[in-house]
Amino acid sequence: MSLTSAVKEIRATREGTWILTAQCPSRLGTVDVVTRFLREQGCYITEQQSFDDSASERFFIRTEFRPLDVDQGGEFDAAAFEAAFTHRASGFDMTFELTPPERLVPVVIMVSKADHCLNDLLYRYRTGQLPITIKAVISNHPDLASLAEWHGLDYHHLPITADTKPEQEQAVWSIIEGCGAELVILARYMQVLSSDMCERLSGKAINIHHSLLPGFKGARPYHQAFEKGVKLVGATAHYINDDLDEGPIITQGVEAVSHADTAEDLVARGRDIECLTLARAVALHVQRRVFLNGNRTVVFQR
């Protein structure tokens, strides 16, 4: 999904489009149960994507729709819609989520010293390119406080050592829980989260990694890539889990480089790709286009 598509997607949603996402075991009639119900409810489908995974034997569907009564000056009763669809979906062991138009997903951003991903997200937030509301910025360093404060955001400096890690993570969790954040964005937060924190944030935290996983782990990844003479640099956005940098992948970005590029050139290009890839992953997540499927993802692109 391009950034232009992401902006169009957001604008379309704000113009009255609801999103219904659902998944269930593979079974005959799974598409019909959604489309027939929407027709009966007087809802016009504007976009629909579905996927049946033969490996996991699970079915996934994402539908955007516009209630026609609203177009005629009526009101859409979301509670009644959900109650009725719950009854219909129960016969398919289907779980679902209904997302209203204009909903801004509350997020917390975590960062260390590198500012490029944070700066990019703040710009997209300020210009309305991402349907999110940033509740707080958390860092283990004080360096980026002025950047967050310029945007009118709370900045929490929570230093961490090996001895204070449990206390620091509890403070982080208190902020996340206290502000009602539904998504945590690790915008180059250079700390390994504990198993307990990973479990708490399962499916709710997106990390950006500075390569096409798996590869070039550890310090100075672009310099490692330079020494190996790589011809591609990239970035991976993924959900976190307890296996370091091995969580379910949402999206990846890549760009060709050549023998003429220096290590510093690779760093600069890599930063740009990280920003773009992370923003794309956030957009996909908040627009309910990503489904967890074991350690893999189903991603419905625009």
Asked whether the bond before 166 is cis by omega within 30 degrees of 0, the reply is no
The structure tokens 């001895």 sit at 163
Compute CA distances 280 → 98, 172, 206, whole Å: 22, 25, 11
Nearest to 50 by CA among 63, 37, 33: 63
d(CA 99, CA 77): 13
Nearest to 134 by CA among 158, 113, 112, 105: 105
Catalytic residue among 115, 143, 245, 261: 245
d(CA 23, CA 237): 23
d(CA 110, CA 191): 10
Check if 115 is active-site.
no
Nearest to 175 by CA among 121, 135, 214, 127: 135
SS3 178: helix
The structure tokens 């951003």 sit at 109
Which residues belong to the active site?
Answer: 245
